[in-house]
Amino acid sequence: MIQQFKKIERIKGELELRGDKSISHRAVMFAAMANGVSVICNCSDSEDVRSTMDCLEKLGCKFEFLDDSIKVNGKGFKGFSKPENDLYAGNSGTTARLMSGILAAQDFESVITGDESLSKRPMGRIVEPLKVFGSDISVSEKGIMPINIKPSSTLKAVNYKLQVASAQVKSALILCAIHLDEESVIIEAIPTRNHTEKLLGLRTEKDSSGTKIFVSKKNYPQPFEITVPSDISSAAFFIVLALLTRNSEIVIKNVSLNETRTGVIDILKQMGGIIEVENLIESKGEKVGDLRVFSSNLKNISIPETIIPNIIDEIPILAVAGAFAEGNFRITGAKELRVKESDRIKSLCQNFARAGLIVTELEDGFELDGKASIENIIFDSCGDHRIAMAFGVMSMLMENGGKVNDFECVGVSNPNFVEQINFLNSSP
């Protein structure tokens, strides 16, 4: 489906977004692991989290969808049953990688597959460290799906230093180690999102080598109730649109403001964005607050490479902000973008070039120069939800609007994007 966007003159209003995708994946998995009934409010309604629920249903877990919550009947320690078929993770790297950690510790065989995009993404990054824990897990020679997991009698607790700055890899190892009597220590040199540690209440220690995360069977989840805060990664698209549209002011309610995720706000503020945090509270270890955003004049800044894992999902929309800001946008140290739902360095460079910007593609980033000059073009979503929404926003900032192809892929993280834009655009 080609989605057409007109230039937006002004946006206004108060927006409630569905729950953070990363926290929702984990809430659903931990509830399924716990022994008894858990309740999840404001769970993400994304296709990705649905993929996690589908996999857990095939392992015997039951979900009851109530008006304002999901009731999860958890299976308890090693209570999952052998799936009759392969587990299909769809487009979701988080589903495939975190479920691999859980399944590596079960007493039955399982196979995880995914869609065309996920089937190209690197899985060696979880397979190698899970083998260090003694698990029997393998992928194809190229390090891609299907992921084949067999029961292992040699599982053992280990001290493991992460080789890649990835919350998905870290979480896969934690979820395997949480089935073991002895304590494992997972060491993370570069901080990545820490929702797994927070939701499970894991002990962590910081020293010169980074953060040490301690985990054993003692940390196995118990039934719980949670209200998932709104997704900051989905909010980022509306924040940038509000900053760059004249006479605009929006409020996004109850946004997850976990410090491993707020790099996008820090950068936009440094660029001159007026973003205020209101009603800040802490709930289940996670900070939550309302974001009030005003039209602003943005200037490009130098983005430090150390912040990249914190902003990895927001780089597409930050680049759109950079394309309309004073000065040139440049990002480096972001090679991980090449192994996301699409090769996001390529996807971004191709689309910015289509709009008439001068683009320099680097191995680990890119640079943008000039101004968007070619109007009402069709941007290519590359089947990637964040690319689709980023160029949807770009279209709404261009004089004659623009179009984005295969726009339905936004359902992977936010099926309500167009509705939410229409709401903000029509508020008095």
Q: 3-state class of 351 per DSSP?
A: helix
> Shortest Cβ distance from residue 264 to ligand S3P (Å)?
13
Residue nearest to ligand S3P (CB): 22
- Residue 364: active-site member: no
Is 46 in contact with 415 (CB distance < 8 Å)?
yes
Which helix (H) or strand (E) covers residue 39, if one does?
strand 35-41
> Shortest Cβ distance from residue 197 to ligand S3P (Å)?
11
Q: 3-state class of 112 per DSSP?
A: strand
Strands 87-88 and 110-113: parallel
Choosing from 20, 48, 313, 384, the catalytic residue is: 313
Query: What is the binding site for ligand S3P (CB under 6 A)?
Result: 22, 25, 93-94, 166-168, 171, 192-193, 312-313, 336
User: At how many degrees (to 10) do helices 167-177 and 124-132 cross?
Assistant: 30
CA separation for the pair 146, 139 (Å, rounded): 6
Complex with ligand S3P: residue 166 or 420, whichever CB lies closer: 166
Q: Tally Cβ neighbours within 10 Å of residue 48.
A: 23
Complex with ligand S3P: residue 324 or 417, whichever CB lies closer: 417
> Shortest Cβ distance from residue 325 to ligand S3P (Å)?
24
Complex with ligand S3P: residue 168 or 342, whichever CB lies closer: 168
CA separation for the pair 221, 200 (Å, rounded): 6
> Shortest Cβ distance from residue 198 to ligand S3P (Å)?
12
Q: Please give the full DSSP string across 149-214, using - where no structure is assigned.
A: EE--S-----EEE-SS--HHHHHHHHHHHTT-SSPEEEEESS----HHHHHHT-EEEEETTEEEEE
CA 306 to chain centre: 18
CA separation for the pair 17, 187 (Å, rounded): 33
Complex with ligand S3P: residue 192 or 414, whichever CB lies closer: 192
> Shortest Cβ distance from residue 121 to ligand S3P (Å)?
9
Residue numbers annotated as active site: 313
